[in-house]
Amino acid sequence: MGRYSISYSLVFTTIFSTLPLFITTIFLCSSTLQTKVESLPLSTNGRWIVNENGKRVKLACVNWVSHSETMLAQGLNKRPLDELSKSIKDMGFNCVRLTWPILLAINDSLASTTIRDHFHSLGLNQTIIGLQKKNPSIVDLPLIKAFQAVVDSLGKKKVMVILDNHVSQPLWCCAQTDGNGFFGDKYFDPDLWIKGLSKMANMFKGVSNVVGMSLRNELRGPRQNVPDWYRYMPKGAEAVHAANPNVLVILSGLSFDNDLAFINSKPVTLSFKGKLVFEVHWYRFSDGDIWSKMNPNQACKEITGNVIRKAGYLLDKGWPLFVSEFGIDLRETGVDDHRYFNCFMALASELDFDWALWTLVGSYYLREGVVELNEYYGILDSDWNHIRNPGFLQKVSGIQLPFQGPDSPEVEHDKVIFHPSTGLCVLRKSVFGKLILGPCSNSDGWEFTPQNILSIKGSRYCLQANKEGKPARLRKNCSIFNAKWELISDSKLQFSSKIRYNSSVCLDIGYKNIIVTNACKCVSIDNTCDPGSQWFKLVDRTKS
Ligand SMILES: *[C@@H]1O[C@H](CO)[C@@H](O)[C@H](O)[C@H]1NC(C)=O
Ligand SMILES: *[C@@H]1O[C@H](CO)[C@@H](O)[C@H](O)[C@H]1NC(C)=O
Ligand SMILES: *[C@@H]1O[C@H](CO)[C@@H](O)[C@H](O)[C@H]1NC(C)=O
Ligand SMILES: *[C@@H]1O[C@H](CO)[C@@H](O)[C@H](O)[C@H]1NC(C)=O
């Protein structure tokens, strides 16, 4: 995580009341059934990550911080490790991006220091009491054994792990000039980096739930340049593959991992095939203050275009893309976070990329000098027992399952109508042809014809606008003018139809998530409006 300053997070106090974990796990249980770890190792088939049977495995990960000064996965002073692993699974994530510093791998005297001694040396005596209480079997382990215990616990719960080399020195990441930003920086020695990667890859050889290694987080700073990227990244990739040929090798871009555009003009050449994945980060603050200043439809169009130009294009070139950091302040106080996230969800559904949410962490043992710093981006609350914002997790669950997978002659194609701001899809409601939002896995297949008719595939039913403020309906008469839909506004995320010959409405969400039509929002240059409820994305779906 870069450029997100601590002062920002300290301005507010928690205003959220939270629900116990079990309440949220009830409505998520349908998705957890499908997150089994199976038939590993993973490899790539074009833009898809697949298992040994060639079936798509979509990485739906959460970041778990273990790279900073303490070098221990956060939160073990609050909850038993196995309980946390189970919670991750119950929340519908199938994988963890677990961060680590190079020094942990290459400095044996550091790696063999016990958690207790290490935390003492950092003055974290209170934390040790918590660790002793919640994780007595961990507190006297050497740092490296504790790291392995975390991976092992996740494995027992069938959670996959991406080992992410976040930094060289253990510290909070990432600043332009922290000496860990680019090859040749004060603490970023390329040879030691390769040594560390090899050691880590080798250490987890044969540990089947370790499915990938991301080689370095957020390259950045005054020294960053493309030639050195090509000089060192392939070397790192080769070293990891030589030590552990099972893992996916994940390469990040420049400028805080916002930019992989340079790959377009010069492909990466490696001695092995079927393991290469690219990763990119995308936050609200990746684009300055554009989300609060610009009309949301325009901003979404512009930023989506940038993300595709800088990274999304790789999917079309046949490479998997792992959006390994994204997320918002879960107090959801900012209009900019809200707009960003709806736009993110629209692209995430359309491109159906692999991803890792920032972050699991409810609080840090120690971050930037602050003990028990609350993490407002954390999916768990600072007590690590509650889900911070259940509504947000429910949205995210809408992209946990894959929409698509590798194509073949047996595969059927249709579409779903995804609603980014809820993570739900437009479903048929049994009575009177009404429609409602619900889980995408329950969606009929839709098609959007060249005549601009939105119909249920294989049926004569199509979507019709009725009156402003009234439910849209499924009807059989599809030649009528109010059954024609156009994608309007800069974002092209609003479905518009006429209700009289010269009056347009847009699909929207009404009372109890019924699909209605309302006056179209935010189509002119206005930066105070929010079209989020009217954003829908037609998403390709494949079924095999
Ligand atoms: C290795 O770890 C030891 C013990 O924590 C420390 O004293 C030493 O400075 C470290 N070496 C390097 C090169 O960081
Ligand atoms: C922390 O514990 C150590 C060892 O028990 C002790 O020497 C030290 O004084 C304690 N530090 C604080 C701040 O309580
Ligand atoms: C379908 O709609 C058109 C246009 O309003 C109308 O003329 C026609 O009678 C309708 N047909 C049926 C079967 O309802
Ligand atoms: C149709 O548009 C014309 C010109 O904008 C306007 O004068 C008229 O009132 C509109 N009719 C309806 C039914 O909205």
Task: Report the candidate in 298, 389, 335 with the shortest Cα–Cα distance to residue 306.
Answer: 298
CB within 8 A of 326, min separation 6: which ones? 281, 282, 283, 344, 355, 357, 358
Is the per-residue pLDDT at 433 higher than 90? no
Is the minimum distance from the CB of 129 to ligand 2 under 6 angstroms?
no
Give yes or no for a cis peptide into 41 (omega within 30° of 0). yes
Q: What percent of the chain has pLDDT over 70?
A: 93
User: Could you give the angle at the alpha carbon of 528 between the alpha carbons of 378 and 379, nearest 5°?
Assistant: 10
**Mean pLDDT throughout 371-382?**
98
Between 205-214, 392-401, 492-501, the lowest mean confidence (pLDDT) is in: 492-501
Is the minimum distance from the CB of 242 to ligand 3 under 6 angstroms?
no
- Own/partner contacts of 239-242, CB < 8 Å, gap of 24 or more, are 239/194, 239/197, 239/198, 239/201, 240/197, 240/198, 240/201, 240/213, 240/215, 241/270, 241/271, 241/272, 241/275, 242/198
In this prediction, residue 431 has a pLDDT band, given cuts at 50, 70 and 90, of low
Distance 100 CA to ligand 1 centre (A): 16
Is the per-residue pLDDT at 33 higher than 70? no
User: Could you give the angle at the alpha carbon of 507 between the alpha carbons of 501 and 512, nearest 5°?
Assistant: 135
For 292, counting Cβ atoms within 10 Å of its Cβ (0-12 exposed, 13-18 middle, 19+ buried), the class is middle
Task: Report the candidate in 184, 163, 169 with the shortest Cα–Cα distance to residue 71.
Answer: 169
| Contact yes or no for 150/158 (Cβ under 8 A) | no
Task: Report the candidate in 191, 210, 213, 367 with the shortest Cα–Cα distance to residue 279.
Answer: 213
Other CB atoms within 10 A of residue 177 CB: 12
Is the minimum distance from the CB of 120 to ligand 2 under 6 angstroms?
yes
pLDDT of res. 38: 67
* Digit-coded pLDDT (tens) for 197-250: 999 999 999 999 999 999 999 999 999 999 999 999 999 999 999 999 999 999
Residue 205 token pair: 């050889």
* Digit-coded pLDDT (tens) for 100-115: 999 999 999 999 999 9
Residue 305 token pair: 């275009």
Bridge partners, residue 438, by sequence: 425
| Contact yes or no for 57/34 (Cβ under 8 A) | no
Other CB atoms within 10 A of residue 316 CB: 10
Hey, whose CA ends up nearest to atom 10 of ligand 2?
125
Is the minimum distance from the CB of 408 to ligand 2 under 6 angstroms?
no
Mean pLDDT taken over the chain: 93
Is the minimum distance from the CB of 123 to ligand 2 under 6 angstroms?
yes
Whole-number Å distance between alpha carbons of 196 and 185: 16
| Residue 431 to residues 229, 424, 427, 514, Cα–Cα distance (Å) | 59, 20, 12, 12
Q: Which of 468, 481, 498, 502 to mutate to test the pocket of ligand 4 (most atoms within 8 A of CB)?
A: 502
Q: Which of 115, 125, 140 to mutate to test the pocket of ligand 2 (most atoms within 8 A of CB)?
A: 125
* Digit-coded pLDDT (tens) for 159-194: 999 999 999 999 999 999 999 999 999 999 999 999
Is the per-residue pLDDT at 14 higher than 60? no
- Report strand pairing: 60-64 vs 48-50: unpaired
Three-class secondary structure of residue 223 per DSSP: coil
Residue 130 token pair: 């918590």
| Contact yes or no for 111/404 (Cβ under 8 A) | no
Residue 245 token pair: 């040929």
Whole-number Å distance between alpha carbons of 472 and 483: 10
Whole-number Å distance between alpha carbons of 430 and 419: 20
Distance 113 CA to ligand 2 centre (A): 17
* Digit-coded pLDDT (tens) for 44-98: 999 999 999 999 999 999 999 999 999 999 999 999 999 999 999 999 999 999 9
In this prediction, residue 501 has a pLDDT band, given cuts at 50, 70 and 90, of confident
User: Could you give the angle at the alpha carbon of 344 between the alpha carbons of 34 and 332, nearest 5°?
Assistant: 95
For residue 156, how far is the Cα from the chain centroid?
23
Is the minimum distance from the CB of 110 to ligand 1 under 6 angstroms?
yes
Pocket of ligand 4 (CB under 6 A): 500, 502-503
Residue 206 token pair: 């044969």
* Digit-coded pLDDT (tens) for 138-153: 999 999 999 999 999 9
Other CB atoms within 10 A of residue 333 CB: 11
In this prediction, residue 2 has a pLDDT band, given cuts at 50, 70 and 90, of low
Task: Report the candidate in 56, 97, 96, 47 with the shortest Cα–Cα distance to residue 274.
Answer: 47
Is the per-residue pLDDT at 26 higher than 90? no
Distance 443 CA to ligand 3 centre (A): 28
Three-class secondary structure of residue 404 per DSSP: coil
Q: Which of 462, 476, 479 to mutate to test the pocket of ligand 3 (most atoms within 8 A of CB)?
A: 479
Is the minimum distance from the CB of 169 to ligand 1 under 6 angstroms?
no
* Digit-coded pLDDT (tens) for 132-141: 999 999 999 9
Whole-number Å distance between alpha carbons of 491 and 72: 42
User: Could you give the angle at the alpha carbon of 58 between the alpha carbons of 490 and 95, nearest 5°?
Assistant: 115
In order of their start, the domains of the chain are 43-397 (3.20.20.80), 412-543 (2.80.10.50)
Half-sphere exposure of 303 (CA within 13 A, CB side): 29
Is the minimum distance from the CB of 475 to ligand 2 under 6 angstroms?
no
Q: Which amino acid is at 412?
A: E
**Mean pLDDT throughout 373-392?**
98
Is the minimum distance from the CB of 114 to ligand 1 under 6 angstroms?
no
Is the per-residue pLDDT at 24 higher than 50? no
